[in-house]
């Protein structure tokens, strides 16, 4: 019994000698209120030990609480609350805790208080959420004033302790905007302990990302962003970039245009306006940018002068000079030029040219990989042939490097029909962004009046033209529209032209284009109709147009062509891009349709509407369909859509689809692989790779194909290039699959395309569905979404190029030119280097065996050495011979040093012309080389090497330039220099996403970013010494500056070639 009592009464130390609460409970029956109050206080102290015994007296305790004349009724409520807590009745415990008033101490560190506070917060937030979501005509649920008082006390206590994060979470869950505002504004008066609550500005930046990525309700998110705009505007020194981000999320083009106009009018704020414009281009749609451009008009100087004159006249103190001064102040001299630059940025001309410049400069495409695949693949297999052409386009995306095609024209000419269409369209991927030369590059293949070439090459060229102008279709709109009207009855040309219009005018909501595409659709041609339907969805992307949806859904029920229905299903999904809850009714309608293709479209509607939101409601719906629908296509689409919904939380996706990846249904397994690839792209996630590994050996060919593609997407720009690393192992596996003659063609196709994805964009791009500011990137989501439809139509593979984003840091000055600017990466150069180039040389299988030495040989050798030593010491002639040998080696070393100096100077000249070496450093190295002419070349070489290392340590020389010059140093002059623990990157620099955390500015750098802490993307730079002359990188014809450039020789277009059937 003693043991049993220990279990029931665990802490007798609090009441020595007390073995029962019966005596205290008897006091509750006394008439004197003082005795009852004393009993309650004693029972409150021992309730944790005797709660089971006290529970029998609960009616008496409750009656004391209900007696309003009893002075200690709140104490009775507290005791009842604790008893109910120990009984597990949390609802009753909270009810009586509310009745206890201030006696329920929210600061008490106990399980009782913590549990009831959590219960109170949940109930409070639930009631407030229901009130916020209740329709206006319905009665809102009441909220107990005592519950509000309890939560308010807890909030005040937390704010007193500066626990802002907890209060902010409560405010968001309960939809209390006034509390959100209070938390944000308090951070200046009483800074918190965390980095994001150290000031109001830091909390604003934190909340901007938090609200756009974690708040599920679209309406509540808009309310929060509107509140942030109000707080931003109230700051004495507002963060204009953060303010613009909130306004763009709200779709307030007028406010954005007004903000840009205000900043451009102020000379010292123009760099901020340019940075803001670059961010808008990255995050916003064509229609929004077009609206901003339409509203962005500077005030005419004449109006400013009139205004100034009127003000001067009314004050009776002005004169003509005063009016002129007023007009000049209203319209500064450089304002018109600044507006011109701003418009060049907003039209996409400058950002596209800068990205193209970086990709061309930094292209590291390994053509030997393509050559090896071309040799290994079956020459008679048209599918592998087409896959290699697509892989080449992906590997060379945006680099304008098409030498592989030029060198293999005879091999390329084997493509026929739709393979020819795809091959021609790949030129658009290779030259994407090269808008100035687009028409001349594609002239040999585009439709021409009076000439009829192959319709497949013409259609492919029109598709390529759209890809070159992707998401920036204004310059080419009229040409493509005329081409569609003049296509006649050629379905292939109409197909290519429609796809080109869709890509170029993505999200433009252009009514004229929509009507033309609709007319093509209504011709009921399966080939042309599919592309026209898809293009209609791209043009109305994200508009949520009820008219467009009704027309497309109606025609989907009327037509009998599966291709058209599939195109319309995808178009409907694209129209609802980013609409979130607005898409729910449409999804329900599509899910109840008997046509599996429209149910398939419902899954992509969820994917596009809820992309990057991690919505639980959307995930529940997708998971239900993934295991219940009778169509394999629908189930596969449902699982793929999970990847889009979880793209902002890549670590969660492998956990969600883990069981689905083990499904008996191969379509579900394929969908699981692609979902992980979409969500975890570029992350090198260990969990994702472990989930994909078993599917690489799946018995079904298309599951292996999906696993290969997904693994390449996950490993894009992986910086681990060790031979035993996952990236190296995956490359070897891809080579093995391509070379295996017994492998299924579908798996080979996936391996070839996966090889292209692994080295996309000259190894300088990655796929990312989120921007640097954690906003959804429309072109990326759409590109990857349409890319997954290559299951039905291989030309759609090229849509993946829309999702490629250069991983670069491009610094610009006020003239939108690239100055000489360097960054420091606090990691060894090898940590984020390019993958090593492919080599066909075979490694030696084993080292040579050591030569055996016999004991007799050793004795003979020893005797010979002794004899030689005696002879050398005795002969003066042998000494002279040794001296001659020494002099000969010295002359050879001098000759090698001279050659090394000459080579180093040649490289120095090239680097100086390219802007990688400053004029002062080049002069110093040249001087050191000249001082060594004659007999001191070796010493001069050492001095040059020392100067190079010193310049690199100071940050005056990039690591790439250092390596280029030091490689000429002969081995005889010393060992290979040790790898430095850091690297210096020069503008424009390749900066991987995983590398951003180790990037820092060089001390005493002349240029600093306008956006503090930004180390990637296009960065506007503030010049700390504006009066000093700037060193600029050589101008390129690819970069638009708004000034007329001198005529330059255009690059020659690809040589025309004839395809043979």
**pLDDT attached to residue 880:** 62
Burial zone of 911 (CB within 10 Å; 0-12 exposed, 13-18 middle, 19+ buried): buried
In the block, residue with structure tokens 């704020």 = 269
The predicted pLDDT at position 14 comes to 46
Dist. CA 712–CA 716, nearest whole Å: 6
What angle is formed at CA 794 by the lines to CA 792 and CA 796, rounded to 5 degrees?
90
**pLDDT for 238:** 87
Burial class (CB in 10 A: 0-12, 13-18, 19+), 803: buried
Residue 804 pairs in a beta bridge with 767
pLDDT below 70 — which residues of the chain?
1-18, 136-138, 298-333, 450-452, 839-883, 886, 888-891, 893, 932-936, 971-977, 1035-1061
Residues near 889 by Cβ (< 8 Å), separated by ≥ 6? none
Output the six-digit token pair for 162: 């500066």
Structure tokens at 1017: 């993307």
Q: Report strand pairing: 1017-1023 vs 808-812.
A: parallel
The answer to whether the beta carbons of residues 571 and 533 sit under 8 Å apart is yes
Strands 999-1001 and 822-825: antiparallel
What pLDDT score was predicted for residue 10? 39
Distance CA 48, CA 59 (A): 19
Strand positions, DSSP E, 882-923: none
What whole-number distance in Å separates Cα of residue 467 and Cα of residue 802? 8
| Contact (Cβ atoms closer than 8 angstroms) between residue 143 and residue 128 | yes
- Of 115, 107, 116, 101, the C-alpha closest to 149 is 101
Q: What contacts 511, CB < 8 A, 6 or more positions away?
A: none
Q: What's the pLDDT at 863?
A: 60
Q: Of 520, 545, 544, 546, whose CA–CA distance to 533 is shortest?
A: 520
Q: Where are the alpha helices (DSSP H) in 174-319?
A: 177-189, 200-214, 218-234, 240-250, 253-265, 270-283, 286-295, 301-315
Confidence (pLDDT) at 274: 93
CA distance 560 to 75: 76
Q: How far apart are CA 1017 and CA 805, in angstroms?
A: 9
Distance from C-alpha of 483 to C-alpha of 487, rounded to nearest angstrom: 6
User: What confidence tens digit (pLDDT) does each residue in 79-88 have?
Assistant: 888 888 888 8
Asked if residues 413 and 1059 have their Cβ atoms less than 8 Å apart, the reply is yes
The pLDDT score that the predictor gives to residue 305 is: 39
pLDDT at residue 454 in the model: 84
The span from the CA of 1059 to the CA of 1061, in Å, is 7
The 10 Å CB-count burial string (b at 16+, else e) for 569-591 is bbbbbbbbbbbbeebbebbeebb
Does residue 1016 contact residue 772 with C-beta atoms inside 8 Å? yes
Q: Calculate helix-pair angle for 726-739, 367-376, nearest 10 degrees.
A: 30
What is the distance between the alpha carbons of residues 77 and 516, in angstroms, rounded to a whole number?
Answer: 74
- The residue assigned the tokens 């509750």 is 28
* CB-based contacts of 250, cutoff 8 Å, min separation 6: 222, 225, 226, 229
Helix axes 270-283, 253-265, angle to 10 degrees: 150
Instruction: Kindly state the greatest CA–CA separation across the chain.
Output: 131
Q: How far apart are CA 76 and CA 83, in angstroms?
A: 11
**Length of the chain, in residues:** 1061
pLDDT of residue 351: 92
Helix (H, G, I), strand (E, B) or coil at 1054: coil
Q: How many CB atoms lie within 10 A of CB 982?
A: 18
Spatial neighbors of 333 by CB under 8 A, at least 6 apart, are: none
Q: For residue 1012, what pLDDT is reported?
A: 87
Whole-angstrom distance, CA of residue 676 vs CA of residue 301: 57
Question: Closest by alpha carbon to 416, among 442, 388, 443, 455?
Answer: 455
Give the pair of three-digit tokens for residue 802: 């829309």
pLDDT reported for residue 154: 86
pLDDT tens for 1021-1057 read 999 888 888 888 876 545 444 443 344 444 555 566 5
User: What are the backbone angles phi and psi of residue 872, rounded to the nearest 5°?
Assistant: -65, -45
Compute how many other C-beta atoms are within 10 angstroms of the C-beta atom of residue 321: 9
């Amino acid at each position: 019994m003693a043991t049993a009592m220990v279990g029931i009464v665990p802490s007798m130390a609090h009441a020595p000698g007390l073995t029962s609460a019966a005596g205290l409970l008897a006091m509750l029956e006394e008439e004197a209120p003082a005795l009852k109050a004393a009993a309650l206080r004693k029972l409150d102290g021992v309730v944790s030990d005797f709660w089971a015994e006290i529970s029998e007296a609960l009616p008496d305790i409750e009656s004391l609480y209900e007696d309003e004349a009893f002075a200690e009724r709140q104490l009775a409520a507290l005791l009842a609350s604790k008893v109910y807590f120990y009984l597990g009745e949390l609802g009753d415990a909270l009810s009586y805790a509310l009745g206890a008033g201030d006696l329920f101490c929210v600061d008490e560190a106990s399980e009782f208080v913590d549990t009831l506070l959590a219960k109170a917060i949940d109930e409070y937030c639930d009631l407030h959420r229901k009130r916020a979501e209740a329709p206006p005509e319905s009665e809102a649920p009441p909220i107990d004033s005592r519950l509000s008082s309890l939560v308010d006390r807890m909030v005040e206590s937390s704010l007193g302790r500066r626990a802002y994060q907890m209060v902010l979470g409560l405010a968001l869950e309960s939809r209390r905007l006034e509390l959100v505002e209070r938390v944000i504004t308090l951070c200046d008066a009483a800074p918190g302990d965390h980095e994001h609550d150290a000031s109001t500005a830091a909390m604003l930046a934190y909340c901007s990302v938090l609200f756009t990525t974690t708040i599920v309700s679209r309406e509540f998110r808009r309310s929060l962003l509107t509140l942030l705009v109000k707080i931003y505007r109230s700051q004495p020194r507002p963060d204009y970039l953060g303010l613009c981000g909130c306004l763009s999320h709200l779709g307030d083009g007028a406010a954005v245009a007004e903000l840009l106009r205000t900043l451009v009018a102020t000379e010292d704020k123009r760099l901020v306006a340019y940075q803001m414009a670059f961010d808008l281009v990255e995050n916003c749609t064509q229609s929004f940018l077009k609206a901003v451009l339409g509203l962005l008009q500077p005030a005419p100087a004449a109006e400013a002068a009139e205004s100034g004159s009127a003000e001067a006249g009314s004050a009776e103190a002005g004169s003509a000079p005063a009016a002129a001064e007023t007009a000049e102040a209203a319209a500064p001299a450089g304002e018109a030029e600044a507006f011109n630059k701003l418009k060049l940025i907003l039209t996409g001309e400058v950002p596209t040219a800068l990205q193209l410049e970086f990709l061309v400069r930094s292209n590291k495409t390994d053509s030997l990989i393509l050559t090896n695949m071309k040799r290994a693949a079956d020459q008679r297999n048209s599918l592998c042939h087409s896959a290699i052409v697509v892989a080449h386009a992906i590997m060379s995306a945006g680099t304008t490097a098409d030498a592989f095609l030029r060198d293999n024209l005879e091999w390329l000419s084997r493509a026929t029909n739709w393979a020819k269409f795809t091959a021609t369209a790949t030129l658009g991927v290779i030259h994407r962004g090269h808008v100035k030369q687009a028409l001349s590059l594609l002239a040999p293949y585009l439709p021409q009046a009076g000439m009829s070439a192959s319709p497949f090459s013409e259609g492919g060229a029109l598709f390529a033209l759209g890809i070159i102008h992707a998401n920036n279709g204004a310059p080419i709109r009229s040409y493509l529209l005329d081409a569609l009207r003049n296509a006649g009855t050629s379905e292939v040309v109409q197909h290519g032209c429609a796809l080109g219009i869709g890509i170029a005018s993505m999200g433009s909501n252009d009514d004229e284009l929509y009507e033309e595409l609709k007319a093509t659709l209504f011709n009921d041609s399966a080939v042309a109709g599919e592309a026209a339907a898809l293009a209609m969805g791209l043009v109305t992307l994200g508009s949520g147009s009820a008219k467009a949806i009704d027309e497309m859904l109606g025609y989907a029920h009327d037509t009998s062509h599966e291709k058209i229905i599939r195109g319309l299903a995808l178009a409907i999904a694209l129209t609802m891009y980013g609409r979130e809850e607005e898409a729910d009714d449409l999804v329900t309608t599509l899910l109840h349709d008997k046509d599996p293709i429209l149910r398939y479209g419902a899954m992509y509607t969820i994917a596009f509407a809820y992309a990057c939101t991690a919505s639980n409601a959307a995930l529940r719906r997708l998971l239900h369909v993934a295991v219940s629908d009778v169509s394999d296509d629908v189930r596969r689409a449902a699982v793929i859509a999970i990847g889009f919904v979880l793209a902002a939380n890549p670590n969660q996706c492998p956990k969600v689809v883990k069981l689905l990846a083990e499904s008996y249904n191969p379509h579900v397994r394929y969908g699981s692989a692609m979902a992980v690839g979409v969500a975890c792209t570029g992350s090198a996630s260990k969990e994702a790779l472990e989930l994909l590994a078993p599917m690489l050996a799946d018995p079904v060919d298309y599951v292996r194909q999906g696993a290969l593609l997904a693994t390449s997407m996950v490993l894009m720009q992986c910086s681990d290039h060790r031979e035993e690393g996952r990236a190296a192992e995956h490359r070897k596996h891809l080579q093995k699959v391509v070379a295996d003659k017994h492998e299924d063609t579908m798996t080979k196709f996936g391996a070839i395309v996966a090889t292209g994805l692994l080295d996309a964009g000259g190894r300088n791009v990655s796929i990312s569905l989120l921007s640097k500011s954690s906003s959804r990137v429309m072109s990326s989501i759409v590109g990857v979404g349409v890319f997954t439809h290559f299951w039905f139509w291989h030309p759609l593979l090229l849509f993946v190029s829309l999702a490629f984003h250069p991983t670069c840091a491009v610094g610009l000055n006020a003239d939108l030119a690239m100055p000489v600017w360097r960054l420091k990466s606090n990691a060894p150069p090898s940590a984020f280097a390019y993958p090593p180039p492919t080599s066909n040389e075979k490694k030696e299988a084993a080292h040579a065996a050591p030569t055996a030495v016999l004991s007799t040989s050793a004795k003979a050798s020893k005797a010979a050495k002794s004899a030689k030593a005696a002879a050398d010491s005795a002969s003066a002639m042998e000494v002279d011979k040794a001296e001659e040998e020494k002099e000969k080696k010295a002359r050879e070393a001098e000759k090698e040093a001279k050659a090394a100096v000459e080579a180093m100077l040649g490289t120095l000249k090239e680097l100086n012309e390219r802007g990688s070496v400053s004029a002062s450093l080049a002069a110093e190295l040249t001087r050191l080389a000249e001082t060594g002419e004659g007999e001191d070349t070796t010493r001069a070489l050492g001095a040059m090497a020392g100067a190079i290392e010193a310049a690199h340590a100071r940050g005056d020389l990039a690591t790439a330039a250092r390596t280029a010059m030091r490689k000429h140093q002969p081995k005889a002059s010393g060992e290979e220099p040790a790898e430095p623990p850091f690297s210096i990157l020069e503008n424009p620099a390749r900066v991987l996403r995983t590398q951003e955390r180790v990037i820092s500015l060089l001390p005493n750098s002349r240029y600093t970013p306008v956006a503090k802490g930004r180390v990637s993307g296009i960065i506007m730079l503030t010049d700390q010494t504006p009066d000093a002359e700037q060193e600029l990188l050589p101008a390129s014809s690819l970069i638009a500056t708004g000034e007329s450039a001198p005529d330059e020789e255009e690059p020659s277009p690809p040589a025309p070639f004839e395809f043979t059937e």
